[in-house]
Amino acid sequence: MRPKLLKSFIVVLLFWFLFSTVWWTLASPETNYKALVALQKLLPFINLKVPAEISIMGAWRVQISVLAYWTAPILLGSAMFGAVGLGLVWTQAARQSKERAEREAGSGSFREVTITRGELPLPKTWPRDELDLGADDDSALSRMTEKERVLLGDVLGTLSAHPDAYPGEGVRVSLLEHALNLASKALTHRRYPGLSAVVAAAHELGKIEAYVKRGDTWTAIKDHDREASRILGTLTSWWALPEADRNAVMMAVKFHSRPRQIPDVNGDPAIYRQAREILDAADGAQAEALTEQKTQTLEKLELPDLILEGFLQALPQLSFQSRGLPKGVQAVAWKVKNRVYMLEIKLRDTVLAKLPQEVRGALAPNPKERSRLQPFTLALLKALDEKGWLVRKHESTKLEVKEALWNVKAGKLEFKGVIIIDVPEEYMTQLPKEDSMYDVAISGTLFTPSASTNAATVAGTAISKGDLLGSVLKPATPREKPPAPPAEV
């Protein structure tokens, strides 16, 4: 567009120059003479011959003098200034065109991927400390390949660069120490020690982005597994693994909490089997490490005092069965004089909410372990028994602390999984003034008492899933026998 506009401007300029020249040439001789006199006054240093008079025949000489000393220099100067301006404009345009071409040209590369236009967007990278894990540092590391050691070093280096990240529930060490513990236990795997250690440590990467601290509480804002796989995917050492190992490690990290959703990768079932195997090894290491670290955390805490403090705070908030209980509110506790009956599952949720987060985490159940009672319930029973509040004996039945859950009958309903305590007089202000409106009686034990503890038991009942959930069971009403048919005569 610029060359066309310049060409049009030059054509218009030449047209009007020629038109004005022809018009001035055809003007009267006096007009030409006045122009020559004016030019002499304007440029006195030029030797112009101005005739005393002019005629029609001599007008052409006057016109030539004016054109030679006025029009030609003006045109030449205009051309020079125009050329300078054109050069500046052209230089600026060329520079901008070059910058645009460089900007639009492809730049950047990522794992052998390049781009022909624009700038290749690169994934976010996280700070990482340089760690060198040599096989001589630990005999267990000698079971890993060089690429696996480099990857494990990058994973641990990334964790090391985030010392304030969330380490996990009930874990009082740093995230790096926790990951080292996991990796060391996963290295005992027989077939894939290196990859199992990598998966166990790499899954902890997700805590860097998935959890944020709000006040004194850590809150999950993103999916842990997805964030771990996203950070792992940015590590060049992960990309350097053999393709099958690389895919298996990524699937094990990305679907750590949902192993059954691991997809089929490239139609190769061996990758799925390998991912499940190293994931199982990482899970086993995690369960073992969490158990050890939670035990260490509980040993450093004044657990009985903390639990009793939380219990006393939660006691007034329990829904005691009494007259005037709002409709739709389920009773979870009953009071008879100084004796209190409490559903274990409801009491557990209420008291846990009153405890510090590190205590809640340390008392959280391990999903990989099966037990009849959760760690919190066992700790609460021990604390109440040390205080002398826990009821463990009824008539001829005496229970151990770890089994001190009863079945009670309140009115016509039977409740299973009930903790019974006798509250001292000084704490009676924490309880409602009125007793429960229904008669409450012990109907049996939740667990069958140990043979070494009792010679006789009172209606001991076997444990079931419904019992552990504190279910409410309505007693079965006996059916009346149908009348016997009349005897035939």
- Residue 183 domain flag: yes
Q: What is the pLDDT of residue 489?
A: 37
The H or E element spanning position 219 is: strand 217-220
Asked if residue 95 and residue 24 are part of one domain, the reply reads: yes
Q: What is the pLDDT of residue 52?
A: 65
- Residue 118 domain flag: no
- Residue 260 domain flag: yes
Domains held by the chain: number: 3
pLDDT block averages, 10 residues each, the chain of length 489: 76 82 73 74 71 68 72 74 87 88 74 77 88 67 88 93 88 88 87 92 94 88 94 93 94 92 87 92 84 71 79 86 78 90 88 76 65 82 90 90 90 90 90 88 85 43 44 46 50
Asked if residue 335 and residue 241 are part of one domain, the reply reads: no
- Residue 1 domain flag: yes
Asked if residue 286 and residue 158 are part of one domain, the reply reads: yes
Query: What is the domain range of residue 402?
Result: 301-443
Which of 253, 270, 298 corresponds to the end of one domain? Answer: 298
Q: What is the pLDDT of residue 247?
A: 94
- How far is 172 from 184, CA to CA, in rounded Å? 18
Asked if residue 436 and residue 322 are part of one domain, the reply reads: yes
Which two structure tokens, joined as six digits, stand for 393?
């004996």
Asked if residue 329 and residue 277 are part of one domain, the reply reads: no
Asked if residue 378 and residue 425 are part of one domain, the reply reads: yes
Asked if residue 160 and residue 37 are part of one domain, the reply reads: no
The tens digit of pLDDT for each residue in 300-342 reads 666 778 888 888 888 888 888 887 777 777 888 999 989 999 9
- Residue 40 domain flag: yes
Residue whose C-alpha is closest to residue 155's, from 223, 222, 224, 238: 238
DSSP string, 389-458: -B--EETTEE--GGG--EEEEETTEEEEEEEEEE--GGGGGGS-SSPPSS-EEEEEESSPPPTTT-SS-S
Asked if residue 394 and residue 347 are part of one domain, the reply reads: yes
CB 208 within 8 A of CB 162: yes
Which two structure tokens, joined as six digits, stand for 301?
């805490």
Asked if residue 436 and residue 307 are part of one domain, the reply reads: yes
Pairing state of beta strands 413-422 and 472-473? antiparallel
Which of 298, 327, 357 corresponds to the end of one domain? Answer: 298
In order of 54, 172, 349, 384, 386, the CA distances from 380 in angstroms are 130, 22, 12, 6, 10
Q: What is the pLDDT of residue 135?
A: 56
Q: What is the pLDDT of residue 390?
A: 92
* Model confidence, pTM: 0.57
Asked if residue 191 and residue 88 are part of one domain, the reply reads: no
Q: How far is CA 385 from the centre of its chain?
A: 42
- How far is 377 from 373, CA to CA, in rounded Å? 6
Which two structure tokens, joined as six digits, stand for 414?
């039977």
Asked if residue 189 and residue 55 are part of one domain, the reply reads: no
The tens digit of pLDDT for each residue in 94-142 reads 999 888 877 777 777 787 787 777 778 888 889 999 887 765 555 678 8
- Residue 132 domain flag: no
Residue whose C-alpha is closest to residue 217's, from 360, 379, 314, 317: 360
Rounded to 5°, angle at Cα 483 from 477 and 487: 160
- How far is 155 from 413, CA to CA, in rounded Å? 56
Which of 443, 464, 479 corresponds to the end of one domain? Answer: 443
CB 445 within 8 A of CB 461: yes
Asked if residue 277 and residue 343 are part of one domain, the reply reads: no
- Residue 458 domain flag: no
- Residue 117 domain flag: no
